[in-house]
Amino acid sequence: MTQLTIDGARLARAEAKGTAVGPRPLADGVRGDDKAMLRAAADLTRDLNTPKPPVYWADLLGSALVGYAALAGAMLLQPAGAALLCGVLAVLALYRAGSFIHEVTHIKHRALPGFRTAWNLLVGIPLLAPSFLYEGVHNLHHAKSRYGTVEDPEYLPLALMKPWTLPVFLLVSVLAPVALLIRFAVLAPLSLLSTRLRDIVVARYSGLQINPHFRRRPPEGEIKAQWRWQEIAASLWAIGFIALVAGSMLPLRDAIILLVVVSGVMLLNQVRTLVAHLWENDGEPMTVTAQYLDSVNVPPPATLPALWAPVGLRYHALHHLLPGVPYHNLGEAHRRISGALDERSSFHATNHRSLAGLVGRLAASTMRR
């Protein structure tokens, strides 16, 4: 899940303009696509494209159950230590449950009937991040001609920006719950009274994006109906939450705990977004292999990525090669392709060891600006 854009990010993007840094060179100096890698990726994973409904449902329901139970513990338990532990567990579990928005965007819904609706009711609407904010936006990030360009809603050349842009990038996520409350409780209802405001809400405040120049088009077709009911439900939930707090029916302490947990979920996702790519492209179109090399895998034996990059997100570079492979098969896909290609292949160049190493690399790059 990427975060809502802010004016600070707009300024950061402006600073990067005029920086003449091209796409990251391919392995061994190759400038075109690594056709052997692309062929192997397609040939070796043809049987891995079918999602397994029991895995999806068990993972989602289990994550949501643990997350909300831990959230209740954070609100109800008196010892500060126990409440804090429950809060941390709630963040991790709800983050995992929320990460299924990525799968909702990619899966063929007839293969998992009812899953999108269930995810929105269980997670998307309660966290004020319904799937319409991602569907129709994230797929543009996978368009071969858009990736890394100004038309990519999920790309900023962070590695080419100033050091201060990184803390600003993270700060956005901490404030996201308040921004989402305003978007759904205030702007959405008011936009029904003003066509001009509605156009602004649709174009600028209806996408989980990080590119401040991206403007979303009005929804059409099937997504329009999804957008309508999800936005209405999220608005009713946001208005209800504010009314419960204002009427003292929901204790202020519990409301703050809820907002802090959601902020934690958004922050953890933003940290993951920070290292999902190397962010080294200056806006020019890239080959498929160059796009892959600008992305990140953090495969085993590392274990912590299971927490900060769950639901297959630790294989983000591989996902860009094979967006149709469900999350539970990405590990097997990575194992097969790794075993079939020798060490000179571009495929191995995206493997990284840790979150700290990736953050350090990005920070070091900004220090040179």
Q: Which pLDDT tens digit goes with each residue over 236-276?
A: 999 999 999 999 999 999 999 999 999 999 999 999 999 99
- Average pLDDT of 325-340? 97
- 171-221 pLDDT, tens digit each: 999 999 999 999 999 999 999 999 999 999 999 999 999 999 999 999 988
Task: For 295, list phi and psi in degrees, rounded to 5.
Answer: -110, 175
* Range in 3-17, 77-91, 318-332, 348-362 with the lowest mean pLDDT: 3-17
Query: In angstroms, what CA-CA distances link 260 with 174, 209, 355, 364?
Result: 8, 21, 23, 30
**Lookup result for tokens 């204790």:** 251
Indicate the residue type of 327: Y
Evaluate if residue 304 carries a pLDDT over 70.
yes
Share of the chain above pLDDT 90, in %: 86
Is pLDDT above 70 for 80?
Answer: yes
Phi, psi of 315 (to 5 degrees): -110, 50
Tell me the H-state helices in the chain: 7-16, 35-43, 53-76, 80-98, 100-106, 115-119, 138-141, 165-182, 188-191, 195-204, 222-246, 252-274, 288-293, 305-308, 316-321, 330-340, 355-367
* DSSP code for 110: G
Coil, strand or helix at 154? coil
The owner of tokens 């590392």 is 302
Is pLDDT at 158 greater than 70 in this prediction?
A: yes
pTM beyond 0.85: the answer is yes
Kindly state the tokens that stand for 234.
């999220």
* Residue 9 burial by Cβ neighbours in a 10 Å radius (0-12, 13-18, 19+): buried
What pLDDT is attached to residue 24? 39
Per-residue pLDDT at 181: 98
Tell which wins on pLDDT, 7 or 62.
Answer: 62
Does pLDDT of 25 surpass 90? Answer: no
Lowest mean pLDDT among 15-29, 71-85, 248-262, 345-359: 15-29
Residue type, position 365, single letter? S
Which tokens go with 204?
A: 């600028």
pLDDT band at 222 (very low <50, low <70, confident <90, very high): confident
pLDDT on residue 33: 83
Distance CA 87, CA 70 (A): 6
Q: Residue 254 CB: number of other CB atoms within 10 A?
A: 16
pLDDT value at position 7?
Answer: 35
Interval 302-320 mean pLDDT? 96
